[in-house]
Amino acid sequence: METATQIDIAAVLKELGISETNHGVSTGRNNFGSGPTITSHSPTNGELIGKITTATKADYHKVIATAKEAYGTWRNIPAPQRGEYVRQFGDALRAKKEALGALVSYEMGKSYQEGLGEVQEMIDICDFAVGLSRQLYGLTMHSERPGHRMYEQWHPIGIVGVISAFNFPVAVWCWNTALAWVCGDVCVWKPSEKTPLCSVACQNIWNDVAEANDLPEGISAVINGDYKVGEMMTTDTDVPLVSATGSIRMGKIVGQAVAARLGTSLLELGGNNAVIIEPDADLQMILPALVFGAVGTAGQRCTSTRRLIIHEDIFDKVQDIMTSAYKQLRIGDPLDENNHVGPLIDTDAVNAYLNAIDLVQKEGGQLLTDYGVIDSPNHASGCYVKPAIAKVENSYNIVQEETFAPILYVMTYKTVDEAIALQNGVRQGLSSAIMTTNLRTAEKFLSNNGSDCGIANVNIGTSGAEIGGAFGGEKETGGGRESGSDAWKAYMRRQTNTINYSSELPLAQGIKFDL
């Protein structure tokens, strides 16, 4: 399969310091990894991109020891100065945006524009973190005891472990890391074994910033490997916070392991996101959001639109609009900006797609579009599939699950209360949306009687989020919050302080204890 001529992958890899064999473990200046070598193949064409050494148990402990030492220095640097280093990292990302975006696209399979967008999210969160470095506010409250002052402040928590997923191989790491850095923490990153080269590239970019400022190694560290490396992190008492993004199955394992040692976990897990379409919706306006939400990143976003809940009066009209739009989708090399849909990450994902299609039909669903694997020389990796739409009931077992593939389930409703019940009638609770021009309906959807998701939108889709707002969901999505708002508090420990500046020592609640 031909790669888009406007992007020279060999030049991209060279610019990012990616070679045929890469050290997948890094504490900064020291790059190593004595575990088995893993390979990274592009889902766009099946070609080998590079090889990566992984971490052994000894390698892992070396990383943690280096991170602990770095923490002793990093936490004592004033927060605004830490923000300055994050600013420089953001500028370094700006300089490498095209190259890193291309690598994200080539290694993960999302479109080049989405790859660039993901790097822009990294830049944006660095900008957010720079401002935050001067706003790590505590509170002052009045004491009930005379001559006393009471307040609370926030301190760094220590080593933050970040476990990220393949679908956003760089942005989610940076959501966590940029905030953790300005809070005074150091970060150890266990990336997905499906997109390891993206982590090597990010670490290389940070290393240049750290070296230019004579910063200690260990402020940022990467440990590539399989689930065993993740197990080392989740059971390690030296890692007080583990932020994990991935499947619900994985999140339950991580949450239980971290809780068993009374650590803290920040979980961003699966979504089963729905859009409610009211009869008064502006269909022409919302069509791009509906289609992109369902097929963007080949349906491999945690915020991808999985379900359309359509009022029965307009179901046929919406069905015709959507099926017509799907016929116009161009599926192919994601580095070619003329294409709308790239490949799934690997053949396991393809098999999950095929299995879901089979289960839909067995449960009584009706396929409204063509579907299947695309078998042609231009889709040689075997990872390209046709986005599908299926008419279903919300109660189907397969509809209750999240399939990381471009399968859109559509269903009908009569009243908005019924639609909200359908929207909430799944175990996941990440993103949701309603399309309406009725103010009362919109406000009802956003009220405590409306969507039970962490994200609820009106007249925009489920997919995509701005870094200014806290990102995360409820129920089996995990309850975590990353990125904007006050999500920074997850990376710090709260301390309440009381100062007695009087000449007496009264006890609280007026208790008398005379000796």
Distance in angstroms (rounded) separating the CA atoms of residues 401 and 359: 11
Phi first, then psi: what are they for 275, rounded to 5°?
A: -120, 125
- Both tokens of residue 446? 């956003």
Pairing of strands 48-53, 21-23: parallel
The sign one gets for the Cα dihedral 221, 225, 229, 230 is positive
- Both tokens of residue 209? 């910033």
Residues linked to residue 463 through DSSP beta bridges, in sequence order: none
**Got the DSSP string for 194-248?**
TSHHHHHHHHHHHHHHHHHTTPPTTSEEEE--SHHHHHHHHT-TT--EEEEES-H
Which one from 302, 383, 402, 476 is the annotated catalytic residue? Answer: 302
What strands, in cross-sheet order, belong to the sheet with 492-500? 139-141, 148-156, 492-500
Other Cβ atoms less than 10 A from the Cβ of 183: the count is 25
Residues linked to residue 277 through DSSP beta bridges, in sequence order: 310, 435
Half-sphere exposure of residue 75: CA atoms within 13 angstroms, side-chain side: 19
Distance in angstroms (rounded) separating the CA atoms of residues 165 and 230: 12
Pairing of strands 366-367, 372-373: unpaired
Phi first, then psi: what are they for 458, rounded to 5°?
A: -125, 120
Name which of 102, 334, 123 is nearest 197 in CA terms: 102
- Both tokens of residue 18? 């990616």
Q: Residue 302 catalytic?
A: yes
Measured CA distances, 368 to 279, 297, 351, 362, 456 (Å): 21, 21, 20, 15, 28
Residue 336, SS3? coil
The sign one gets for the Cα dihedral 341, 343, 344, 348 is positive
Residue 447, SS3? coil
Residues 115 and 169: beta-carbon distance below 8 Å: no
Distance in angstroms (rounded) separating the CA atoms of residues 254 and 470: 22
Residues 181 and 85: beta-carbon distance below 8 Å: yes
Q: Residue 47 catalytic?
A: no
Which one from 268, 278, 476, 482 is the annotated catalytic residue? Answer: 268
Distance in angstroms (rounded) separating the CA atoms of residues 143 and 207: 47
Just list the catalytic residues: 268, 302
